């Protein structure tokens, strides 16, 4: 198992075994791609659903640190998506 992980890490940035071979867009291309994707009717519905489910979730006082970090990560990813969409529209 360790040999596999060592080989995977030493091979440089390649697709993970479960990822298909694909071209990764550059940081400059991402805003345009995100804006095009999320400007469709379905894309707008997806963003609306994510906002409703991610931002509306409230954790109680018994929530552990891991759960709070996970929730914060989801919110951060949603903000990244929104930011890229806005950049691509301008």
Residue-by-residue pLDDT tens, the chain, 90 positions? 567 666 656 655 555 666 667 778 888 899 999 999 999 999 999 999 999 999 888 888 888 999 899 999 999 999 999 999 999 998
Q: How far, CA to CA in Å, does 30 sit from each of 39, 55, 79?
A: 14, 23, 14
What is the pLDDT, as a whole number, of residue 57? Answer: 84
How many other CB atoms sit within 10 Å of the CB of residue 74? Answer: 15
Long-range CB contact pairs, 22-29, < 8 A, 24+: none
Long-range CB contact pairs, 37-42, < 8 A, 24+: 38/81, 38/85, 39/85, 39/89
What is the pLDDT, as a whole number, of residue 38? Answer: 93
| In the chain, domain spans | 29-90
């Amino acid at each position: 198992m360790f040999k596999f992980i060592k080989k995977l890490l030493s091979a440089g940035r390649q697709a993970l075994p479960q990822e298909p071979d694909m071209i990764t867009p550059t940081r400059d291309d991402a805003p345009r791609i995100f804006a095009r994707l999320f400007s469709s009717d379905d894309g707008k519905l997806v963003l609306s659903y994510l906002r409703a489910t991610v931002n509306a979730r409230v954790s109680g006082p018994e929530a552990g640190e891991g759960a709070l970090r996970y929730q914060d990560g989801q919110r951060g990813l949603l903000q990244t998506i929104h930011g890229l969409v806005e950049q691509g529209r301008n």
